[in-house]
A and B are shown apart, each in its own frame.
Chain A
Amino acid sequence: DTAVSQTPKYLVTQMGNDKSIKCEQNLGHDTMYWYKQDSKKFLKIMFSYNNKELIINETVPNRFSPKSPDKAHLNLHINSLELGDSAVYFCASSHWAYEQYFGPGTRLTVT
């Protein structure tokens, strides 16, 4: 009965590789998000989708590409991984104006 799930929870990869993180929510929400938490624990929005439409696209490298196949899924694909991409990535969902519920996070380590 997990509300917001992410896979994988841990990801270790080498520089230059391409990787994806998947997110699924079973709350019936219409809005999903990706946040990045850096090594100092600072959280910042990356992307947001509402009903499969991109509504927030922060200043992130275009190596990061979100994809929303349907309202319940929002995946994050990262090309040509760099050391600085190491962080915890959180998926979240909400019913537009209401509180956001977060997934367990994916710790990405680029070596």
Chain B
Amino acid sequence: AQTVTQSQPEMSVQEAETVTLSCTYDTSESDYYLFWYKQPPSRQMILVIRQEAYKQQNATENRFSVNFQKAAKSFSLKISDSQLGDAAMYFCAYRSPRGETSGSRLTFGEGTQLTVNP
């Protein structure tokens, strides 16, 4: 079974600075998908960024980018120019490829609570 680990329960960053959230995972599959979701105090789960394992290029969405190291099974999220609105719980998630018997479930890490200081 796949597992996802986020070793940083809490992180803080100054507004306008850069912060990196860590995520590692364990899988025997070669093709899969990785995601970062954000959960602000409103508790809505918001997709931040997605990475396909077969793509070597790291995904980027505006101020959010990932460092995907497939061999190391590492998937970190970098937030540049942090804003107060970035304060939230961030979850790393793993999903098997289409057609697998595990279905398309997301396996989540424990989450990292990010605080942005003004």
Q: Which residues of A contact B (CB under 8 A)?
A: 31, 33, 35, 40-45, 48, 50, 55-56, 88, 90, 92, 94, 96-97, 99-102, 104-105, 107
Question: With A42-B110, A43-B91, A96-B98 given, is the CB distance from A102 to B105 under 8 Å?
Answer: no
B37, B39, B50 — most chain A CB neighbours (10 Å): B39
| B residues near A94, Cβ cutoff 8 Å | 104
User: 1/0 contact trace for B86-102 toward A, CB 8 Å?
Assistant: 00010100000110001
A42, A88, A99, A101 — most chain B CB neighbours (10 Å): A99
Contact A45–B44 (Cβ < 8 Å): no
What is the total number of residues of chain B having a CB less than 8 Å from a CB of chain A?
24
14 additional A-B residue pairs with CB within 8 Å, beyond A42-B108, A102-B46: A31-B104, A40-B110, A41-B111, A43-B91, A43-B106, A45-B106, A48-B105, A56-B102, A92-B45, A97-B97, A100-B47, A100-B104, A102-B44, A105-B43
Contact B47–A43 (Cβ < 8 Å): no
| B residues near A31, Cβ cutoff 8 Å | 104
Residue B35 at the chain A interface, CB threshold 8 Å:
yes
- Name which residue of chain A comes closest to B113, CB basis: A41
Contact B35–A99 (Cβ < 8 Å): yes
- Name which residue of chain A comes closest to B46, CB basis: A102
Residue B103 at the chain A interface, CB threshold 8 Å:
yes
